[in-house]
Structure 1
Amino acid sequence: MEHRYFKPSAYLTITAKLWRVHWPLVLVTAILAAVGSIALYSAAGGSLHPWAEQHATRYLVGLGLLLAAALLPVRFWLGAAYPAYLITLLALFAVMLFGTEAMGARRWLRLGGMAVQPSEAMKIVLVLALARYYHDLPSDRVSRPSAVLVPLLAIVLPIALVLRQPDLGTALLLMFCGLVVMFLAGVRLLYFIAGAVLAAVVSPLAWYVLHDYQRQRLLTFLNPEADPSGAGYHILQSKIALGSGGLTGKGFMLGTQSRLGFLPEKHTDFVFTMFAEEMGFVGAAALLMLFALLIALLLWMAVACRHRFGRLLIAGIASGLFAYVFVNIAMVSGMVPVVGVPLPLVSYGGSAMLAVMLGLGMAMNAHVHYDARLQRLDLPLIVQGPSLGRGLVPRLWSRH
């Protein structure tokens, strides 16, 4: 049987697609990346090396990736969803066997002279695969038990592999993004309530499966002052830097906590702390407003998209960015335990930068082809069982 993803009239020329690109969103990403480069320049003591220059270069590569992803036919991403998921899942499995270990964690694969982190790609690919799955699934089958098990399995498999690395922060982000897509697809609220109750019941047992350093992080979160020069050092120094910035900050490259070497990981997980110390509450609030604008633009694009695949894909990418920002800010503020989540587009890191830009490119692709008339593919019989009822999500997310 021949399947058509959308009618030939939906094809656009490259010029027409470029006109449809949401350039204000691209501009926001450029500003965020510029802020990151400036912060990394300060973190290096007024030098472009080793972080600021590479950060800017990676953004430019990521920008090319974003535009390339946006200009591809939407059917490309629809067809690539499952293969991309399987390849990334195999890459996560390969990390267990051949991965490079650093700081007690095995999260990277060496490809030539590059270190690649497959878990960063999985955050994007998981959303893509789930959007494809619910695009194919009729709305009246979304809450059937067999139809719920398939996406749950797709979420649990990468989480299990990521926890083996170990990387609790990424595992939590994968779970959040996956569940958000399921909720927006219209899965019945009862499933989420049951899952929350089950998680609350078994959560005490999680203590016994955590690694020693993860237990230490939880204890440190509860009482960082108990070991101010050891386990609690990171978060205490971060709080000092945040508080000492005041309203307008100490000035560019004048942050004492970062300049004197008290602030650890100032170029990665704690870059927001260093920025807030130098630019104060005003600068930190402006940076958060940029992230809020980026997420708001993505949600507007999701609402404007006329096909389910695009709506779920864009909303899933937006939820991932929100989780990234929220966890990072809460982490450096001492509101949640330290879990090693970078700040998107601002923190130093190649895999994270390229993954975020690829995800934005996929979202942009759905926006460029917002009026494409996509059709479902045939479904396996496993998802055609009896229904437990329809979801409570507004029809905005489940119309076809």
Structure 2
Amino acid sequence: MGLLNARWPQRLLAQPWGIILLVLGIGGFGALVLYSAAGGSMEPWAASHLIRLAAMTLLMLLVGLVPPAAWLHLAFPLYGLVLAALVLVEAVGALGGGSQRWLDLGFIRLQPSELMKLALVLALARVYRFLPLAHAGRPHGLWLPLLLVALPVGLVLLQPDLGTALTLVAGGATVMFLAGLPVWLFVAPLVLGAAALPLFFNLLHDYQKARVLIFLDPGADPLGAGYHITQSKIAIGSGGLAGKGFLEGSQSHLFYLPEPHTDFIFATMAEEWGLVGGAALLAAYGLLFAWGWRVAFRARDMFQRLVAGGLVMTIFYYVLINLMMVMGLAPVVGLPLPLMSYGGNAMLTVMPALGILIAIDQEARRHEAPRALGDP
């Protein structure tokens, strides 16, 4: 028996098409916002976004056909492969926006740190699948999970990419928490981290320090380091209840709003669609997360449960950090909004993650449903 079950056509028809249509709806809405951000043109963003969405949807469906047990065997090899790619980034990675985060493969600029968000969840879930709960909180049960988190986080911070590093830490901590580690193991590092904030601040790069200071006081440099967040707040606030209307956003069309197609696409959307559009988008994400947690609760074993919970929260942190960033509730750390923002690397994380969730969901459904006479 290979990775794909011989009955994959029937399995394809049994996919959760409601969730798949929801994902396509969010991605399609993103294309609409990108079309408007370009002044009513499919180029340069909307057309490419739709092509990526179609390709990644196919990838999601294919991943959804892979039995969850296969990921148990692939977890460590995948983690090792992506970790090697992160090391390679430090050696020969392509520069962009002042950071060294990409491997230029010719046909695509791959960002290995995005794939690590998946690989880390899978690797940690495998560790706790075979680690007795009584040993999980003891020193001999902590060193391997902590090492699995620390290695990629350290490499990502060297790029530097604080936003992705924070997402990796959050995703790893989620899996460890769901695995049953005592709460004090999470509270103690937070307390120590808060006490060490001055030291940590001094270790940041100059542009990262500026982002933190501007977060605390955006008006200190409204035309410099605080320009992004100031314009984002103006765009969101000017949308009001129902927005200015499709293709009527002045902040993005007149180039006041930086990165209206990537990190600040929510502000672009909110200006034209207002509070109503923002609430609808958040509701769509909420339905997606609710489904993901339902999959986690119905998962058949510890590994699948941890993978499902870890992947749902990884996508949730993506959305949470981006929205807090564009609303001025968190420093600007450069994380896109999943399925909405222009760019393929974030989709390369989110869509396979959703595919794994679909596979876990389908396996739970198959074992819950009464078997027909003669079924294996």
Same fold (TM over 0.5): yes
CA distance in structure 2 between the aligned counterparts of 1:20 and 1:195, rounded to whole angstroms: 44
1:316: which partner in 2? Answer: 310
Q: What does the per-residue CA deviation read over 1:347-393, in whole Å, with 9 as the maximum and x for residues that have no partner?
A: 011111121101111121222222799xxxxxxxxxxxxxxxxxxxx
Are 1:147 and 2:141 an aligned pair?
A: yes
Aligned to 1:40: 34
- Stretches (4+) displaced over 6 A: none
Most deviating of 164-173 and 202-211 = 202-211
**2:295 aligns to what SS in structure 1?**
helix
Q: Helix, strand or coil: the match of 1:207?
A: helix
Tell me how far apart the structure 1 counterparts of residues 169 and 157 of structure 2 sit (CA, whole Å).
12
Say which of 220, 232, 235 aligns to 1:238: 232
CA distance in 1, matches of 2:245, 2:184: 51
Aligned to 1:18: 12
Is the CA contact 1:99–1:106 (under 8 Å) kept in the aligned structure 2? Answer: yes
2:82 pairs, out of 57, 76, 88, with 88
Question: What letter corresponds to residue 205 of structure 1 in structure 2?
Answer: L
- The structure with higher relative contact order (CA 8 Å, sep 6+) is 1
The secondary structure found in structure 1 opposite 2:148 is: helix
Matches within 5 A, 1:128-139: 128-139=122-133
Residue 23 of structure 1 aligns to which amino acid in structure 2?
Answer: W
Q: Do the aligned partners of 1:92 and 1:161 also contact (CA within 8 Å) in 2?
A: yes
Q: Judge conservation of contact 1:59–1:354 (CA < 8 Å) in 2.
A: no
Partner amino acid, structure 1, of 2:38: A
- Residue number in structure 2 paired with 1:110: 104
Q: Render the CA deviation track for 1:217-263: whole Å, top value 9, x for unaligned.
A: 11111111111111111111111111100000000010111111101
State the shift of 1:203 in Å. 2.0
Normalising by structure 2, we get a TM-score of: 0.94
CA distance in 2, matches of 1:102, 1:16: 44
Q: Write the letter of the residue equivalent to 1:122.
A: M
In the alignment, what sits opposite 1:217?
A: 211
Q: Deviations over 1:186-220 (max 9, x none)?
A: 01112112222221222221012100100011111
Match of 2:340 in 1: 346
Give the letter for the 2:57 counterpart. L
- Does the aligned pair in 2 maintain the 1:95–1:108 contact within 8 Å? yes
Distance across 1 between alignment mates of 2:138 and 2:7: 41
Q: Is the 8 A contact 1:65 1:358 kept in 2?
A: yes
Give CA-to-partner distance per residue, 1:28-55, whole Å, 9 cap, x none: 1100100110011111111111111111
Matches of 2:145 and 2:165, distance apart in 1: 15
- TM-score, length-scaled by structure 1: 0.88
CA distance in 2, matches of 1:19, 1:223: 53
RMSD between aligned residues: 1.8
Which residue number in structure 2 is paired with residue 376 of structure 1?
none
Aligned ranges for residues 38-187 of structure 1 at < 5 Å? 38-187=32-181
Q: Secondary structure at the match of 1:106?
A: strand
Tell me which amino acid in the other structure corresponds to 2:97.
M
Paired residue type of 2:110: V
Q: Within 5 A, what are the aligned runs for 1:167-316?
A: 167-316=161-310
Distance 2:220 2:294 in 1: 46
Structure 2 Cα separation of the partners of residues 218 and 166 of structure 1: 15
Amino acid at match of 1:321: I
Look up the equivalent residue of 2:74 and give its one-letter code.
A
Provide structure 1 residue ranges, at least 5 long, that are not aligned to the other structure: 1-6, 374-400
Paired residue type of 2:144: V
- Contact 1:70–1:364 (Cα < 8 Å) also in 2: yes
Secondary structure of the structure 1 residue equivalent to 2:69: helix
Partners of 2:197 and 2:217 in 1: CA distance = 20
Question: Which letter does structure 1 place at the counterpart of 2:15?
Answer: V
CA–CA distance in structure 1, aligned partners of residues 324 and 187 of structure 2: 25
Runs of at least 5 residues in structure 2 that lack an aligned partner in the other structure: 368-376
- Once residues 102 and 72 of structure 1 are traced to their aligned partners in structure 2, the CA distance between those partners, rounded to angstroms, is 35
Residue 310 of structure 1: CA displacement? 1.1
